[in-house]
Structure 1
Amino acid sequence: MMSMKKISIKNLIGGGYNRFWHNKNFYRVVKGSRGSKKSKTTALNIIYRMMKYSWSNTLVVRRFSNTLRQSAYTDLKWAINQLGVSHLWKTNESLPELTYLPTGQKIIFRGLDDPLKITSITVDVGILCWAWFEEAYEIESEDKFRTVVESIRGSYDDPEFFKQVTITFNPWSERHWLKRVFFDEKTREDDTFAITTTFRVNEWLDDQDRKRYMSLYKTNPRRARIVCDGEWGVAEGLIYENFEVNDFDIEKVIHDTQSTSYGLDFGYVHDPTAFVAIAADQKEKVIYIFDELYEKGLSNKKIYEKLVAKGYNRSPIIADSAEPKSIDELKRLGLTRIKGAAKGKDSVMHGIQFIQNYKIVIHPKCVHFIEEINNYTYDKDREGNTLNKPIDEFNHLMDAMRYAMEVFTGKRKARAVPSLY
């Protein structure tokens, strides 16, 4: 390793990750709660190790390439600065790519939405021996994961040489293949190191952050199990069970169904604005979820701008009728075909029961929809008895879908729109 100022790695990463830091199993897997510093620690570890081992190169992967720049790439640049070695690394924002200047080793970033670019990766120095799958929960199939792992191959003449695939993610559902492959004792991969971490090992969280996490144990114990404890979301009591994540051809689905609809649920500070785009095959009873918007703090003007940027300014949108002023403002701004949802007695459960007649197929880019549908369950009373109503959580995109589906209940007329893809 090139000489650099002396840094205490223990002080830099804090506690909870000692075994992870030194581990050399082929699979190194961390599922964790939010705020558990798993991504930051992984970034520090990769930079540190690459400067130690001159033969190493790293491939960083997410499901979609456009999400890498604001996640793993930013974390790795942060790690370079934390280690005080920014003068030894070259950044390439356009690719993105990171190069260790003393040797020419590289950190390469790819998305699974461009598989040809992954299978054809080569490096000039050393060997491509490490991979980091960030937010691996977004990867809908084990096959896609295996395709990339196959590129981590070869050997190097050094007694310290090792190959490794690091996997980090938040565990939203026990249905996911990651549980079976890396955490279930009977089916887990050989040569695997797998741990669960929580916000409690993150010394850098302030008191406000910690209080926010702790309050979930009182206000929403089920969500706390996932968000605070890093445990798997439990599928028991799911409202929609007949769904799958599938990388379908969006343009073909829109062309074949000739029937699209759009739903919008308003939010602002505490709840996100949630927009969903669907195509429905009425004959086969299949709903295809092909686009989403999910963001807090959006004014009506920002909602308009984001939907226009997505190409939905001429689309018939059904929005939450509880906010008629917002609907009127969006209409004045240019969403001329937006309308309020038809609400009435038991409209929520009627809408849910109608959708339960369909299979729901979700495009993997709709990550927030996937999270919600995996956690949208029936509520329970104080004795733990299941109630015939949904929880008031994980329901923003679920409500938006319900609004969009009104066009197929006979209350509204569905319209075909030109393909945007």
Structure 2
Amino acid sequence: MGNTKQITVKTNQWVIDKVLTSKARYLVLKGGGSSGKSNGAFLKIVLRVLSEPKQRILVVRKVASTLKESCYKDIETHINEMGLNYRFTFYSQPLRIKDNFNGNEILFAGLDDVERLKSIKGISSIMIEEASEIDEHDFMQLDLRLRDRNPNYKQIILAFNPVSEDLWIKKYFFDVRNPKADLVETTFLNNAFLDKDSREVLEKEMKKSKHYYQVYALGEWGTPDTSGLFYNQFDLDKHVRDNGEADYDPDKHIYLSWDFNVLPSVSLLVSQLSDDGRELRIVDEVHLPYPNNNTLHIVQEFKRRYSGHTAGITYCGDPSGKNQGTTTNAGFNNYTIIKEELLEFYPIDRVQSKHPSVQQRGLFINSIFESNYQGLNIIINKKCKKLIEDLSFQKQSNTGKDKSKVKDRNTGQSWERYGHFSDAFDYLTTVLFAVEFDIFQRGKRAFTYELGYHEISSRYAF
């Protein structure tokens, strides 16, 4: 056959039977945590790029910053595990993977990066990772993009967790059977490569949260809380303190968390940990009215309140605060301002590289509130009124938090009424309890790609 290379890939049997063979316009992968649905989709993308001509496959998520450490890294792992990295070039600016042997490409874009999406032409297929995070309008726009001429079949792959029965995906593909769609439903029980220990951890931990177990263990549609609240397990009596338990302790390290929505104000939470590191104590919040509702004035107000603190400071918060243009000070971003202002405290930077999934962090925090997940606890000082208001009244939407806005009758300006302090709270919790958050999402360890179920040989010639 000349210069050909045969590879034998091992994967879950259902991936071979239902994913690799599907040529439907829509391939819908509904599954719980660690089911292997995304890995199956990534495997298909790599095999199509290797074996079919004129492939230019687009991989998208709601937020562009989440792509590099998720989809891009996972696809790169597939290629490396196959021993085929020698024929690919991996680009980081912008994210792109190119097969140098045939010119095929895998492109990556976030739906929040409109200019990047507009610049991408000639798409042959699309994968939407975490499709539950996008809305129906986003999907329709992507569907319209997939219309260029191509000798191969065009397909949109949607991979998602069934976090709510109100998801548009349920109505679009499941309530009424779409003849152009192949539906694949899996849970971690269908993943032959999940080791026994991880399986047992998942079974044990998922049972601690009824909603999480329903969605991620059973793969059933999540039922929204009847109150429609995002933090549906938050309890004022259980989690708010006015008896000194959540007061500032000058001998303990301080953890700061930021959210940078200027209207109505930049938001800052001040917190500490218990001696064993299992209890998060929110001791204070900082926000200022116009014209001091910006990062510089907020951090200066913090310094005024805690000028004598000597036990060290760590800061985290909204990852977008590291982008240029998030502050009016030319040449700076929010975190350069914070770092310079806090130099006397020798601050430690623990800002995440990407936003944690809104739905995942909500489920995680609710599990702590409900049942002290992994022995964790959260208490909040009664004076943190803005945070308590957020946790009490933040509504949920199909894709996470309801970001409805209110309008000031006098100024005409609009802003989100809730969500600023709770976003800072989410970042803080997922940073300080990062190990437990990872366990909650994936099991004891991250699911690593492995090819094989039975010794079934799928050969592709290149």
Q: Pick one of 142, 151, 154 that aligns with 1:148.
A: 142
Which residue, out of 213, 223, 235, partners 1:234? Answer: 223
Partner Cα separation in structure 1 for residue 165 and residue 204 of structure 2: 24
1:303-353: per-residue Cα shift (whole Å, max 9, x none)? 4266897647999xxxxxxxxxxxxxxx96669xxxxxxxxxxxxxxxxxx
**Partners of 1:25 and 1:164 within 8 A in 2:** yes
Instruction: Answer yes or no: is 1:405 the counterpart of 2:386.
Output: yes
| Alpha-carbon distance between aligned partners in 1 of 2:143 and 2:97, rounded to the nearest angstrom | 21
Describe the SS at the equivalent of 1:108.
strand
Tell me what 1:207 maps to: 196
Return the letter of the residue paired with 1:175: D
Whether 1:138 aligns to 2:133 is yes
Deviation at 1:220, TM superposition (A): 3.4
CA deviation after TM superposition for structure 1 residue 2, in Å: 8.9
Relative to the length of structure 1, the TM-score reads 0.62
Residue pair 2:88, 2:100 contacting (<8 A) in 1 also = yes
Partner amino acid, structure 2, of 1:202: N
Q: How far does residue 193 in structure 1 lie from its aligned partner after superposition? A: 1.3
Query: Which whole-Å CA distance do the structure 2 matches of 1:278 and 1:192 have between them?
Result: 50
Deviation per residue, 1:195-228 (Å, 9 max, x gap): 2211112222222101101213653343211221
Please report the TM-score for the alignment, with normalisation by the length of structure 2.
Answer: 0.57
Distance in 2 separating the partners of 1:16 and 1:276:
51
Q: Which amino acid aligns with 1:147?
A: Q
- Conserved 8 A contact 1:372-1:398: no
Could you tell me whether the CA contact under 8 Å between 1:4 and 1:85 is conserved in 2?
no
Contact 1:40–1:75 under 8 Å retained in 2: yes
Moved more, 260-269 or 104-113: 260-269
Residue 153 of structure 2 corresponds to: 162
> Which residue does 2:96 correspond to in 1?
97
Amino acid corresponding to residue 153 of structure 2 in structure 1: F
Q: Percent identity?
A: 23
Whether 2:36 is the aligned partner of 1:37: answer yes
Distance 1:210 1:54, change over 3 A: same
Q: How far off is 1:264 after superposition? A: 6.0
* Per-residue CA distance 1:35-65 (angstroms, 9 max, x = gap): 1111221111111112221122101111111
Q: Does the CA-based 8 Å contact 1:263-1:402 persist in structure 2? A: no
Which of 167, 184, 187 is 2:175 aligned to?
184
Q: CA deviation at 1:175?
A: 2.3
Give 1:266-415 correspondences, 5 Å limit. 303-304=314-315, 311=334, 368-371=357-360, 391-392=370-371, 403=384, 405=386
Task: Give the length in aligned residue pairs.
Answer: 317
Cα distance change, pair 34–373 in 1 and its aligned pair in 2 (3 A): closer
Counterpart amino acid of 2:13?
G
Kept in 1: contact 2:89–2:98 (CA 8 A)? yes
What's the counterpart of residue 254 of structure 1? 262
